[in-house]
């Protein structure tokens, strides 16, 4: 297993739709193992393949939940069905998200409280489960990565403006920028 550098916003693979996984083979299993290793080293609750520079439709997660879903897993070629997203302002204390590809920053964002996730595991076996609360948030966040969206792309005007300013001040937004979990300082202070 190998820990990979995490790409930072501005890297092209983060901003385009990822390709469908076509082969459920040893190479995919190795990629999944590397993603778990990288996610763990970064103290993440999820990691999408584009975040390590691989433009394929899969993500790993590690999140305890009340939905009867194993707390650690991978979803390959997912589809997601969402409940309604409230039009209310996001709560800056209760609905704050961060992202390993926008290291160290966190902003409030409304998400659906329910999601149905369908896809496959790394062996090609079908998955079909429901996620609620924060687990649903994790599923939506990681799924967005596969469509070339970061959570900051979904922020309302107030928070989006702040995020763009932070990104500009950090010098991000261009290709070639990464951070290395386990080597570079943890941007979220874990």
What are 44-63's pLDDT values in tens digits?
999 999 999 999 999 999 99
Domain presence at residue 95 = yes
Q: Examine residue 157 and state whether it is found in any structural domain, yes or no.
A: yes
User: Catalytic annotation on 142?
Assistant: yes
User: Long-range CB contacts (< 8 A, 24+ apart) of 47-50?
Assistant: 47/6, 47/100, 47/142, 48/18, 48/142, 48/145, 48/146, 49/18, 49/146, 50/7, 50/13, 50/14, 50/18, 50/145, 50/146, 50/148
**Structure confidence at residue 147 (pLDDT):** 98
Q: Is residue 180 part of a domain?
A: no
Q: Say which CATH number the domain at 146 has.
A: 3.90.45.10
Q: Which of 11, 97, 122, 142 is catalytic?
A: 142
Is residue 190 part of an annotated ligand binding site?
no
99 is annotated as contributing to ligand binding: yes
CA 91/CA 103 separation, integer angstroms: 21
Average pLDDT, the chain: 96
Q: Please count the structural domains in the chain.
A: 1
69-93 pLDDT, tens per residue? 999 999 999 999 999 999 899 999 9
Cα of 190 vs its chain's centroid, Å = 18
Q: What is the pLDDT of residue 190?
A: 81
Residue span of the structural domain in which 40 resides = 6-170
What are 179's strand-pairing partners? 6
pLDDT of residue 189: 85
Q: Please check if 62 is assigned to a binding site.
A: no
Is this prediction's pTM over 0.85? yes
Question: Which residue positions in the chain have pLDDT lower than 50?
Answer: none
């Amino acid at each position: 297993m190998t820990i990979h550098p995490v790409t930072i916003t501005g890297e092209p693979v983060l901003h385009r739709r990822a390709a469908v996984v076509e082969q459920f083979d040893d190479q995919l299993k190795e990629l999944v193992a590397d993603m778990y290793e990288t996610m763990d080293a970064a103290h993440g609750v999820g990691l999408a393949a584009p975040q390590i520079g691989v433009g394929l439709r899969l993500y790993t997660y590690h999140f305890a939940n009340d939905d009867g879903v194993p707390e650690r897993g991978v979803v390959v070629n997912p589809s997601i069905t969402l409940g309604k997203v409230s039009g209310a302002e996001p709560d800056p204390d209760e609905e704050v998200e961060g992202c390993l590809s926008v290291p160290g920053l966190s902003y409030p964002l409304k998400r659906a409280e329910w999601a149905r996730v369908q896809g496959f595991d790394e062996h090609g076996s079908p998955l079909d489960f429901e996620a609620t609360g924060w687990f649903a948030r994790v599923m939506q966040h990681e799924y967005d990565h596969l469509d070339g969206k970061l959570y900051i792309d979904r922020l309302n005007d107030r928070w989006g403006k702040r995020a763009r300013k932070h990104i500009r001040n950090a010098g991000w937004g261009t290709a070639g920028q990464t951070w290395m979990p386990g080597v570079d300082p943890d941007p979220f202070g874990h």
